[in-house]
């Protein structure tokens, strides 16, 4: 097993294990959990939602950087930098911001892995080396470990989605901004579900 496969498998287990996640909020069918990680100042956030659409439709929207701002309320800009192969993509993402905090941006390596049970994992992390310029007034954050797990039901008419967000926002960040990322971020899947289910009906 490669180091990447091992990291993805570890991420998959981390996302789906029961404890020690704590329910932080539940809204319109989206459950948001948080948990602390020893040695890290920010909590990890997890969103869980069931979408009435095939796994392929969910994967298509999740990977479409041109549509990210249409459903993710904490993202101001999202674009693909390049594809290195079919399962590896590098993207740029900039967050929305509220005064007095500066906006954050992230360079993320995305890896897509399909499993025999028809589930799909998208695993993202910041690259070790990054030469992408930082825009003026923006702070470069770090994606420690983030992504999605898509698990279809038996006839692939519904997909259970688990979303993980583990970020280092870097620099001084007010508590309200931290809360926005950790709780409001996963709630964006309310709009994600709406878009995917509408597409599935066409």
Q: What is the residue-level pLDDT of the chain in tens, covering all 202 positions?
A: 688 889 999 999 988 888 789 999 999 999 999 988 777 667 889 999 999 999 999 999 999 999 999 999 889 999 999 988 778 999 999 998 776 678 899 999 999 999 999 999 999 999 988 889 999 999 999 999 999 999 999 999 999 999 999 888 887 776 566 666 678 889 999 999 999 999 998 8
> Which domains can be identified in the chain, with CATH numbers?
3-200 (3.30.530.20)
Q: What is the C-alpha separation between 129 and 152, in angstroms, rounded?
A: 35
For residues 90 and 63, give the distance between their C-alpha atoms in angstroms, rounded to a whole number: 11
Distance CA 186, CA 188 (A): 5
Continuous segment of H or E residues that includes residue 124:
strand 120-125
pTM score, whole prediction: 0.91
Round to whole Å and give the CA distance between 155 and 157. Answer: 6
Residue 104 CB contacts under 8 Å (≥ 6 apart), including other chains: 94, 95, 97, 138, 139, 140, 141, 169, 170
Give the pair of three-digit tokens for residue 53.
Answer: 């659409």
Give the span between the Cα atoms of 73 and 35, in whole angstroms: 22
């Amino acid at each position: 097993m490669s180091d990447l496969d091992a990291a993805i498998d570890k991420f998959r287990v981390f996302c789906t294990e029961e404890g020690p996640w704590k329910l932080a909020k539940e809204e319109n069918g989206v459950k948001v959990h948080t948990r602390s990680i020893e040695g890290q100042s920010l909590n990890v956030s997890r969103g869980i939602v069931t979408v009435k659409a095939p796994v392929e439709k969910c994967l298509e929207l999740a990977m479409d950087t041109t549509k990210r701002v249409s459903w993710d309320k904490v993202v101001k800009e999202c674009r693909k930098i390049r594809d290195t192969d079919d399962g590896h993509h590098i993207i740029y993402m900039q967050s929305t911001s509220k005064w007095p905090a500066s906006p954050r941006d992230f360079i993320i390596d995305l890896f897509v892995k399909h499993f025999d049970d028809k589930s799909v994992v998208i695993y993202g992390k910041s690259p070790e080396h990054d030469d992408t310029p930082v825009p003026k007034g923006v702070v470069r954050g770090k994606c420690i470990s983030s992504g999605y797990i898509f698990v279809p039901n038996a006839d692939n008419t519904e997909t259970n989605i688990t979303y993980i967000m583990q970020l280092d926002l870097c620099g001084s960040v007010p508590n309200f901004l931290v809360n926005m990322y950790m709780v409001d971020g996963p709630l964006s899947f309310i709009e994600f579900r709406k878009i995917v289910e509408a597409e599935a009906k066409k």
